[in-house]
Structure 1
Amino acid sequence: MDMFDPRTMVMDYDFPHEDGCDHGDFSFAFNNSKFSDRVLHIAIYSEPMDSTLSPSVIVEDMHISSPILAARSPFFYKLFTNGMKESEERDVTLRINASEKAAFMELLNFMYSNNLTFTTVTALLDVLVIADKFDVPSCVRYCGHLLRNLPMEPKSVLLYLDLPSTILTAEGLRSLTVAAKQFYAVHYKDITKYQDEIHRLPLESVEAIISSDDLKVATEDDVYVFVIKWARTHYPEREDHRIILMSRIAKFIRFPYMTHGMLTNLLTCNEFDPEFAQEVVTEAISFNAEVPRRQHEYEQGFVKRAYKYQPVKMVKFEQPYPYHVVYVDLKRDVCASLFPLGHVCSEAFNVGGKGFYLSFQCSETVKTLQERSFRILLGTMEKVSISFAVDYEFAVLSKPNEKFVKKCHGSYIFEVKKTRYANSFFVTSWKLFIGKDSVYFIDDVFHLSDKLNVRELDNKELNGI
């Protein structure tokens, strides 16, 4: 007698019976010959440890009611009504793997009783997979209902995301999939802290983590470096990890928020197709060149993450002399978190061969320790070995005209072995800066423009040192 394997059956018909309604409790008829019209022979295949041996087969018999099974499953409906000789015979044989036996028996029990006895995540997921395989949608939904009420843990979430895509997108399971991804995004929010653990996770889990807007990283460079290392680990062949990076992972990298140095690295990186690298770098540079800074967080797809170091955008001009304009945006909640004596720094940027960063601080005023002020300082990334001058011009986007307004300008000399901080370029009362009626926040974002030029000292400046 021929055996039916559910994976070989094609469902190309309309099945009218599965309406999602309760079909009643027929548990009394389960494996009961008095209420059954057929015998199901379950051929259970066990793969031997020795590959030279043939699989062992154990056949177990079950008394089944074809109307009950057909009412719950398009697979069994097709099996009993396909017009072939086997569909008219009393005995029917199905093939399953030994690892599927417990879940399959639980599925048969559900088709009679509308209930499951399994209660653990692992066991319910096994039933879920077998219910999808034998096309029992009511059981798929019921498993999803039970799983949503169980606590999520890293190991169980990993099992959720490892399910076949047909199950993950099924009705009643979409919310579970979303919840699983959110769990990963929150649990592994700090990829630096959990880097070794995350490196062992599969693709679906990594996608859920790096797609989060709340990812805790110093800069977007950290995400870029992490995914390349992960891809090399899981897909050793260059062509394989290049395909994975470009087709699955790259869409989650916020390229416009990467530093200029790392974008340059991307152009010569063998992990990406050269044309793809050129395209995303050009797009990032184009975004960085847009002024004034009133974009919609990169057109919905590239929201700025909660970076430890605030991203900068930099534009270089050659006329009337070489200079750079550095742009930084700070959200109101980031600024508010600086009170009473906090600070946050921008990511590093290069001007005239020198590395700099900006520091935004809430500090005590000079006149009275009871008052606070908001100030911006310019710092160098390394000790000064040769004195040099920086010409600066700070401007902020402010109300009511919402245009950049110059706040200060001048020159500052970074001397050898002196402090790596320049004087405060911008200082204002904390209350005036952060208050509800502040002129410095446009849509709850503080926009700063910093025009910088690095040059050698002239004779007058040299004599003044």
Structure 2
Amino acid sequence: MVADKYDVPSCVQHCTCLLLELDMNLDTATYCLELSSNVSASQVIKPIAKAAQEFLVARYKENIPKLQEEVDQLPLSSFEVVLCEDELNLTEDNAYDIVLKWARARYPITDDRHEVLNSNLARFVRVRYMTHKKLREILEIEDVDHDIASKLVIDALFFKVENPRALTSEELTGHPVRVVEFRKPNKKANVYLIVMRSDCQNMSVNGRIMSQAFYVHGQVFQIIAQRCSEEMQSFGLFLKCVHDGTPTIVKVDYEFWVREKSKKTYVSKLKASYDFTYIDRPGRGTLNLCSMSWASFIGNDSLYFINDMLLLKVHISFKLE
């Protein structure tokens, strides 16, 4: 900071290189992010900020609830980095609870909480996808400014009214998913689902795991994971379009991804197109997502279970007319 204050770029660059040589830990990551917001030579220290962001995302994206007390101690800049991650293993209700707990821990004065929630954190929670129980809670608590809370809830309720299909109990109580919608260049979304190894081990032949029903730009979908018995037992994955019975056609491109242990990134396994009609019942997808037998898929040396979790991503893109 001193080198930056006196405008000595070479010294700033040298300090950046020294910081990059340090082992990244929680204290170092939060310090580097605070530093990047206080130094004018932001391009020079950009590698530090990037390394800190990658560390925080890797630490929290799979298990924020288990580390809530630690998360509550994060400064605002670090907390925002975590919330920006698209692949968080959270429902919107979970995200709301975590943001609220953090704000209460960091800002005990109500007016201060109003300011940070309204100006910084409200944009990280997709209120439209929260349950009615949580929407009611927003109106009942004092943490969010009442006028802003009312606008958020009214917008969410209008969204639900415009998508009025009544969901079945199975569709409501399935495995939670996280939906990240995009609108340009066309309507599309990434949907993230985590399946535990124990869930797979407990599946009978032709048994299945259903995700919660979820909206993508007004259309309801579900993801189905199945232990398939065609030819040899294998892990199948399917996308189901949930119609309300009206004679409509939903045209989508879809792609299935799974995270591999060795590559530490999502790998595409299937890419296809389909025109869903109101008479479709089964989902569309593949009987063998990972091109291996069931025994190899769930074995202890499987490429696809990371800390006993199977991390799935489904990309859905509506076809342009």
Q: Same fold (TM over 0.5)?
A: yes
TM-score between the two structures when normalised by the length of structure 2: 0.58
Match of 2:250 among 397, 411, 431: 397
Which of residues 75, 93, 104 in structure 2 aligns to 1:202?
A: 75
> 1:306 pairs with 192, 202, 205, which one?
192
What CA distance in whole angstroms lies between the structure 2 residues aligned with 1:307 and 1:248? Answer: 27
Pairwise mapping of residues 416-431 of structure 1 onto structure 2 (< 5 A)?
Answer: 426=282, 430-431=286-287
Give yes or no for contact 1:343–1:360 (8 Å, CA) kept in 2.
Answer: yes
The aligned residue for residue 346 of structure 1 is: 212
**Alignment-derived partner of residue 238 in structure 1:** 110
Residue pairs, 1:399-418, within 5 angstroms: 404-407=276-279
Q: CA RMSD in A?
A: 4.5
Give the match for residue 104 of structure 1.
none
**What's the CA shift for 1:368?**
7.6
173-182 or 398-407, which deviates more: 398-407
User: How many Å separate the matches in 1 of 2:180 and 2:139?
Assistant: 27
2:316 match: 445
Q: List aligned pairs for 1:279-358, cutoff 5 A.
A: 279-285=151-157, 289=162, 297-299=181-183, 306=192, 308=194, 343-346=209-212
Quote how far apart the aligned CAs of 1:375 are. Answer: 7.7
What is the CA deviation profile of residues 67-86 of structure 1, one whole-angstrom value per residue up to 9, with x for unaligned ones? xxxxxxxxxxxxxxxxxxxx
Write the distance in 1 (CA, Å) between the matches of 2:285 and 2:30. Answer: 50
Match of 1:192 in 2: 65
Kept in 1, the 8 Å contact 2:238–2:284? The answer is yes
CA distance in 1 between counterparts of 2:33 and 2:235 reads 49
> Are residue 360 (structure 1) and residue 244 (structure 2) matched?
no
Cα distance change on mapping 1:403 and 1:198 into 2, 3 Å: same
1:247 maps to amino acid: S
Q: Which residue of 1 aligns with 2:35?
A: 163
Which of 1 and 2 has higher RCO (CA within 8 Å, sep 6+)?
2
Matched, 1:227 2:93: no
Relative distance call for 1:299 and 1:170 in structure 2 (3 A) is same
Alignment partners' CA distance in 1, 2:128 and 2:149:
13
> Does 2:249 match 1:249?
no
Indicate the larger mover: 268-277 or 203-212. Answer: 268-277
Q: 1:433 to 1:258 in 2, by over 3 A?
A: same
Say if 1:444 and 1:198 are closer, same or farther in 2 by CA, change over 3 A: closer
**Counterpart Cα distance in 2 of 1:258 and 1:227:** 14
Query: Rg: which structure is higher?
Result: 1
By how many angstroms is 1:216 displaced? 1.7
Identity among equivalent positions (%) equals 27
Count of residues paired in the alignment: 240
More moved, 272-281 vs 224-233: 272-281
Which consecutive unaligned segments of at least 5 residues does structure 1 have? 1-128, 310-338, 350-356, 378-391, 409-424, 436-442, 448-465
Conserved? CA contact 1:242–1:273, under 8 Å: yes
Cα distance 1:256–1:133, how it changes in 2: closer, same or farther (>3 A)? same
Q: Which segment is superposed worse, 184-193 or 163-172?
A: 163-172
**Rounded Cα–Cα distance in structure 1 between residues aligned with 2:214 and 2:163:** 20
Cα 1:297/1:371, change in 2 over 3 Å: closer
- The AA in structure 1 aligned to 2:59 is H
The Cα shift of 1:263 comes to: 2.6
Gaps of 5+ in 2: 165-178, 196-204, 216-220, 254-272, 292-313
The partner residue of 1:274 within 146, 154, 169 is 146
TM-score normalised to the size of structure 1? 0.42
Equivalent AA in structure 2 for residue 360 of structure 1: I
